[in-house]
Amino acid sequence: MSHWIALDIGGTTLRAACYPTDSLTPTCINKTPTQPAGPETLPRLIELARSVWPVGQAVAGIGVAAPGPVDPSAGVVLKAPSLPGWDNLPLRQILSEAFQTPVYVANDANVAALGEWVFGAGQGHQDLIYLTISTGIGGGVIANGQILLGANGLAGEMGHVTVLADGPVCSCGRRGHLEALASGPSIARWVEEQLQNGAKSNLPQGTQLSAWQIAAAANAGDSLAIAAFERAGAYLGAALAIFINILNPSAVILGGGVARSGELLLAPIRKVLKRQVYSHHFLDRLKLTSAALGDEAGLLGALALAQGLAEKSA
C-alpha cells in the first residue's frame, strides 16, 4: 500500500504525518517547535518528515502547508517574515530532491480551506469561503468546485482588506485591515486600551491579555469582553458581506483559535450580514459555521492538496 506524507509549517509548531491511502488516520504523526528565531527550521522539517516516513513502504507524494504568500505552481515560499532565510525559498525543489517523490506546496490558509472542504465542515459545498482567525487572519476560497488561486496563486488574502479607513496598523504595515481589527492580538489590544481608559471589567489591567481569556470573561457575562467580540464580529461581518456579494458561497467556515469562541463571534457576524449583504437571497441557503478539523486542518489539508494534485497530474 502506498502512503502520503503531510507537512504543516506553523508559526509555533512543525507537524508531520503519514497517511495510508484511503484513510484519515495517520500511521505516524509527529511535531516539534518551529523555533523561528533559529536558522535551523528547514533541516528540522526534513528530519521531522523522515521521522514519520513509512519503513519499506512506497510514498506517493508530500503535501505541504507553508507560511506566507506562496507560488503554488513553482512550489516557492515567497515571503515568510517569521522564518529567517525563507524568502523566495524553493521548498518543493528542496524536498523533492531530499525525498525523491512529488511534492506539492501551497499557502497554509489555502491548504486549511482545502482540508475543511474535502474532509471537514465544507464537505459537499462547491462554493465556500474559509477564514482562519488567530494571530493573523488568512483565508481560502473554493469557487465552482476548485480552489481559487488567481493569476499569481495569491488569491484568498481576506485578512488584508480595508474595513476601517485610517484604522489601526496591520502586521503588513497598511492601516485598517480586517486582521488589525479582528485577529486575536487585535481584540486583546482593543480591550487593553479600553481598560486603560477606565472601562469597567473583571479583566486585569496592565497585563497582556489573550483572546481566549477575553472569550472566557465574555462567557461569564463581562460586558467589556462581550463588546470586544461584538466589535470584532461586526468587522468580520462587514468584510464577509463583501466577499459573499462577490462569490455567492453556500458555506462560510471560520477556523483558527479565535473562531473557537463560537457564538460570541458568529452572532454579531450574522447580525451584520443581514444588514449589509445586497439581498437576503445570498443568505437563504448559506451555512455559517465553525471549522471542524481543529489543529489537524493543516495536515489534512496538505493530504487533500497532495492527493488532489497527484490525481490531476496523473
CB of 69 to Zn ion, least distance (A): 12
Q: Which amino acid is at 21?
A: T
**Interface residues for Zn ion in 103-162 (CB under 5 A)?**
160
Measure CA of the first residue to CA of the last residue in the chain; give whole Å. Answer: 18
- Taking the complex as a whole, how short is the minimal distance between the CB of residue 53 and Zn ion, in angstroms? 38
- Whole-number minimum distance, CB 156 to Zn ion, in Å? 14
Nearer to Zn ion (CB atom), residue 171 or residue 213: 171
Q: How far is the CB of 259 from Zn ion (least distance, A)?
A: 19
Q: Answer yes or no: are the C-beta atoms of 105 and 93 closer than 8 Å.
A: no
**CA separation, residue 109 to residues 37, 95, 167 (Å):** 22, 21, 24
By CB under 5 A, the residues from 157 to 186 that bind Zn ion are: 160, 170, 172, 174, 177
CA distance 265 to 293: 18
Q: What value, to the nearest 5°, has the Cα angle with vertex 91 and ends 85 and 95?
A: 125
Contact in structure between 265 and 257 (CB atoms under 8 Å): no
Q: Which residue is nearest to Zn ion (CB)?
A: 170
Exposure class string for 8-22: b at 16+ Cβ within 10 A, else e? bbbeeebbbbbbeee
Beta carbon of residue 174, minimum distance to Zn ion (angstroms, whole number): 5
Residues 302, 63: contact at Cβ < 8 Å?
Answer: yes
- Comparing CB distances to Zn ion, the nearer of 44 and 160 is 160
Nearer CB in complex with Zn ion: 81/262: 81
Closer CB to Zn ion, 31 or 174, in the complex: 174
**Least distance from Zn ion to the Cβ atom of residue 163, Å:** 11
Q: How far apart are CA 116 and CA 255, in angstroms?
A: 9
Q: In what order do the strands lie in the sheet containing 128-133?
A: 146-147, 137-143, 128-133, 251-255, 287-290
Which are the contacts of 64, defined by CB distance < 8 A and separation ≥ 6? 6, 7, 8, 9, 91, 92, 95, 103, 104, 105, 106, 111, 302, 305
**C-beta of 15 vs 177, nearer to Zn ion:** 177
Q: 78 and 71 in contact (C-beta within 8 Å)? A: yes
Q: Which is nearer to Zn ion, 195 or 236 (CB)?
A: 236
Q: Which is nearer to Zn ion, 170 or 291 (CB)?
A: 170
Residue count, binding to Zn ion (CB under 5 A)? 5
- Residue number with CB closer to Zn ion (52 or 170): 170
Residue 167 beta carbon to Zn ion: minimum distance, rounded to whole angstroms: 10
Q: Binders of Zn ion among 23-62, rule CB under 5 A?
A: none
Give helix 211-219 / helix 223-247 axis angle, nearest 10°: 110
What's the closest the beta carbon of residue 170 comes to Zn ion, in angstroms? 3
Which of 182, 185, 218 lies closest to 202, judged by CA?
218
Per CB under 5 A, residues contacting Zn ion are 160, 170, 172, 174, 177
